[in-house]
Amino acid sequence: MATAIWVLNDQLHQAQAALASHGPGEARIVVVEAEAVLRQRPHLQKQILFWSAQRHFAAELKQAGWQVDQLEAATHAEALIPWLKQHAISRLLVMAPPDRPIRQAIDRLAQHSDWPCELEWIDNNQFLWTAEEFSRWAGSKKQLRMEFFYREGRKRFNVLMDGDQPQGGQWNFDQDNRKPPKKGLEGPAPLWFEPDAITKAVIEKLQSLAERYELSGDSEPFLWGVTQHQAQQVLEHFIATRLAGFGPYQDAMVSGQPTLWHSLISPYINLGLLQPLAVIRQLEQAGRAQQVPLASLEGVIRQLLGWREFTHGLYHHFGEDYSHSNALDAVVPLPEFLHQLGGSGMGCVDTVLSELNERGYAHHIQRLMVLTNLGLMAGWNPQAFTSWFQAQFVDAHHWVMQTNVLGMGLWADAGRLGSKPYAASGRYINKMSTYCKGCRFDQTKRSGPDACPFNVLYWDFMARHQERFRSHPRMALMIRQLDRIDASELEAIRSTARGLEWAQPPAA
Ligand SMILES: Cc1cc2nc3c(=O)[nH]c(=O)nc-3n(C[C@H](O)[C@H](O)[C@H](O)COP(=O)(O)OP(=O)(O)OC[C@H]3O[C@@H](n4cnc5c(N)ncnc54)[C@H](O)[C@@H]3O)c2cc1C
Ligand code: SF4
């Protein structure tokens, strides 16, 4: 009876549960590059990262003594079925992926009339909380708050604790972490890598397929790390150069500075090249040794031990229906400038899209307060927008998109994530970024041809949804402000909104 292990491309770690269940002599390994994934039109930087990291991992496994086959084909079925038959595999082990559609696609594949073997799922060990543990924590709580989940995680994994109390006497230092950018603010340069021969071959392959599949974004320069060693170097470089400054400018946005003090570890941790608990322990240890301000250290640990695990837990806890949420009945199609990654005419949007085009990355506040903020207020369809996010970002996976885009960004889940709608006018962007200087729109205006579209849509959004939000505890204040706008001015605002063709529903 021959056993094989299929390593999926977000499981690139030798201690992942399927690999840990066997030794090199006991099972054959297979990895697959199927062109079919390109039908989702991923950003070139994302696909280069995924395939190159997978090829590098396959090489590492070979070095560690495993027998590894790397298959390339049009579809997974075309790659795997002949291979399984050729090697008389009777049992194929796969570590369960966190993404539901991927698991469903593999289950469907195993129903194929030619499928020759037994498919065996192994529980995923790449998150700190399993889906069952999360659901036990969630229990019958009325509202699931990230803050309380995070505190539970701090205690459970003994992170930044003094006995049973949080270090520094408080759990949360967010108030210290909201500084607008001061003039000339520059973050330390991040660590990038020149592509090696393996990566260059992947770049060439994808460049040759880019036109056929209409792949988006720039393929070069490609500077992401593609191995565990490089991912570890990125983490260490972050600790050495940016950890101490992580907190204060976490929410700042500066033209020409796409990364500031952000860690850039999400693509690696999501692919399995870094392990979350090891990262958290290393951050805590280094933070103590380097006497990093607690607000910064706690700030980054909150993202990993709190937000990352919370979004994963909720993804499984909410289940499949969550993906179809559309509480605000948002039906506006995505504008062409999103597909083109530029050309909106808005300084903030075009800056973020051009950085995204170059590297497949934008930091949290650019994603939340520029991209989804605009989509929320313009009424872009949440499912289409989520698919767009999943294609465009190097760190995007189904499990992390759902709550972040549908829930936090677009309020399509009617607040199940526990947040208010993150709608903000141009005033917020002007305060927290350098984007408004030089923009052709006027950040102080809310109607007329040169009015900032964020202002226009902000009031239009409040007017459209005033009945729903009038009694919402965190929105009522905004609705009262809306009530104070006189009728003729509100009509001028709403007429300007109607002129934004990319914010209009299709004609019935
Ligand atoms: C609309 C929207 C879309 C997003 N899409 C993704 C995505 O596709 N993939 C992804 O990993 N994160 C996503 N996030 C969360 C967050 O923006 C990114 O994790 C972060 O920007 C990655 O950059 P970084 O590694 O430099 O993060 P840092 O700012 O340095 O944060 C450290 C780490 O914390 C984790 N983290 C922080 N916030 C979150 C969060 N809300 N959810 C999950 N993990 C978090 C990430 O692993 C990140 O690497 C999204 C957030 C929003 C609002
Ligand atoms: S004026 Fe408005 S559109 Fe222009 S950069 Fe500022 S917020 Fe963006």
Q: Is 475 in the pocket of ligand 2 (CB under 6 A)?
A: no
> Which residue's alpha carbon is nearest to atom 7 within ligand 2?
426
Lining residues, ligand 1, CB within 6 Å: 262-266, 269-270, 300, 303-304, 307-308, 311, 363-364, 367-368, 372, 389, 393, 395-396, 400-401, 404-405, 408-409
DSSP of 453-485, one letter per residue? HHHHHHHHHHHHTHHHHTT-TTTHHHHHHHHTS
Q: Return the DSSP state at 168.
A: G
Atom of ligand 1 nearest to the CA of 300: 32
**What digits encode the pLDDT tens for the residues 13-55?**
999 999 999 989 899 999 999 999 999 999 999 999 999 999 9
Q: How far is CA 111 from CA 107, 346, 412, 461, in A?
A: 7, 49, 34, 47
Q: How far is CA 332 from CA 94, 320, 384, 494, in A?
A: 39, 23, 10, 16
Give residue 235's pLDDT. Answer: 98
Give residue 237's pLDDT. Answer: 98
Give residue 339's pLDDT. Answer: 96
Q: How far apart are CA 419 and CA 474, in angstroms?
A: 9
Above pLDDT 70, what percent of the chain? 100
* CATH class of the structural domain 131-188+242-317: mainly alpha
Q: Calculate how far, in angstroms, residue 374's C-alpha sits from the geometric centre of ligand 2.
A: 11
pLDDT over threshold 90, residue 142: no
Q: Return the DSSP state at 114.
A: T
pLDDT over threshold 90, residue 357: yes
pLDDT over threshold 90, residue 508: no
DSSP of 310-325, one letter per residue? HHHHHHHHH-GGGGG-
Q: From 500, 490, 373, 502, select the one nearest 435 (Cα to Cα).
A: 373
Q: Is 325 in the pocket of ligand 2 (CB under 6 A)?
A: no
Q: Please check whether residue 476 is in contact with residue 469, taking contact to mean a CB–CB distance below 8 angstroms.
A: yes
pLDDT over threshold 80, residue 418: no
If one residue of 284, 400, 403 were mutated to test the ligand 1 pocket, choosing by the most ligand atoms within 8 A of its CB, it would be 400
Q: From 381, 379, 423, 419, select the one nearest 403 (Cα to Cα).
A: 419
Atom of ligand 2 nearest to the CA of 346: 3
Q: Rounded to two decimals, what is the model's pTM?
A: 0.97
Give residue 340's pLDDT. Answer: 96
pLDDT over threshold 80, residue 112: yes
Does residue 275 sit in helix, strand or coil?
Answer: coil
Q: How far apart are CA 505 and CA 508, in angstroms?
A: 8
Find the length of the chain: 508
How is residue 503 written in tokens?
């914010």
Fold of the domain spanning 336-503: DNA Cyclobutane Dipyrimidine Photolyase, subunit A; domain 3 (1.10.579)
Give residue 262's pLDDT. Answer: 95
CATH number, span 2-122: 3.40.50.620
How is residue 493 written in tokens?
């605002």
**What digits encode the pLDDT tens for the residues 192-218?**
999 999 999 999 999 999 999 999 999
> Which residue's alpha carbon is nearest to atom 52 within ligand 1?
404
Give residue 132's pLDDT. Answer: 95
**What digits encode the pLDDT tens for the residues 371-387?**
999 999 999 999 999 99
Give residue 166's pLDDT. Answer: 96
Domain with CATH 1.25.40.80 in the chain: 131-188+242-317
Q: From 72, 87, 77, select the one nearest 5 (Cα to Cα).
A: 87
If one residue of 303, 403, 422 were mutated to test the ligand 1 pocket, choosing by the most ligand atoms within 8 A of its CB, it would be 303
Q: How far apart are CA 466 and CA 469, in angstroms?
A: 5
> Which residue's alpha carbon is nearest to atom 6 within ligand 2?
436
* 138 Cβ contact list (under 8 Å, min separation 6): 144, 313, 317
> Which residue's alpha carbon is nearest to atom 2 within ligand 2?
452
Atom of ligand 2 nearest to the CA of 429: 7
Atom of ligand 1 nearest to the CA of 368: 53
Minimum-distance ligand to the CA of 442?
2
Minimum-distance ligand to the CA of 356?
1
Give residue 239's pLDDT. Answer: 97
How is residue 79 written in tokens?
């790659």
Q: Please check whether residue 117 is in contact with residue 91, taking contact to mean a CB–CB distance below 8 angstroms.
A: yes
Q: Calculate how far, in angstroms, residue 188's C-alpha sits from the geometric centre of ligand 2.
A: 26
Give residue 140's pLDDT. Answer: 81
Q: Calculate how far, in angstroms, residue 489's C-alpha sits from the geometric centre of ligand 1.
A: 39
**What digits encode the pLDDT tens for the residues 434-465?**
999 999 999 999 999 999 999 999 999 999 99
Atom of ligand 2 nearest to the CA of 435: 5
Q: Is 425 in the pocket of ligand 2 (CB under 6 A)?
A: no
Average confidence (pLDDT) over 151-164:
96
pLDDT over threshold 80, residue 174: no
pLDDT over threshold 90, residue 1: no
Q: From 105, 88, 86, 87, select the one nearest 96 (Cα to Cα).
A: 105
Q: Please check whether residue 333 is in contact with residue 384, taking contact to mean a CB–CB distance below 8 angstroms.
A: yes
Sheet containing strand 89-95, edge to edge, reads: 67-73, 28-34, 2-6, 89-95, 118-122
Does residue 215 sit in helix, strand or coil?
Answer: coil
pLDDT band at 483 (very low <50, low <70, confident <90, very high): very high
How is residue 507 written in tokens?
């004609």
Above pLDDT 90, what percent of the chain? 92
**What digits encode the pLDDT tens for the residues 4-24?**
999 999 999 999 999 999 989
Q: Calculate how far, in angstroms, residue 162's C-alpha sits from the geometric centre of ligand 2.
A: 45
HSE-CB at 83 with a 13 A cutoff on CA atoms is 23
pLDDT over threshold 90, residue 141: no
Q: How far is CA 119 from CA 12, 77, 134, in A?
A: 20, 14, 26
Give residue 417's pLDDT. Answer: 86
Q: Is 374 in the pocket of ligand 2 (CB under 6 A)?
A: no
Give residue 507's pLDDT. Answer: 82
Mean pLDDT of the chain: 96
Strand partners, 5: 29, 93
Minimum-distance ligand to the CA of 399?
1
Domain with CATH 1.10.579.10 in the chain: 336-503
* HEC letters along 42-81: CEHHHHHHHHHHHHHHHHHHHHCCCEEEEEEECCHHHHHH
Q: Calculate how far, in angstroms, residue 364's C-alpha sits from the geometric centre of ligand 1.
A: 6
Q: Is 372 in the pocket of ligand 2 (CB under 6 A)?
A: no
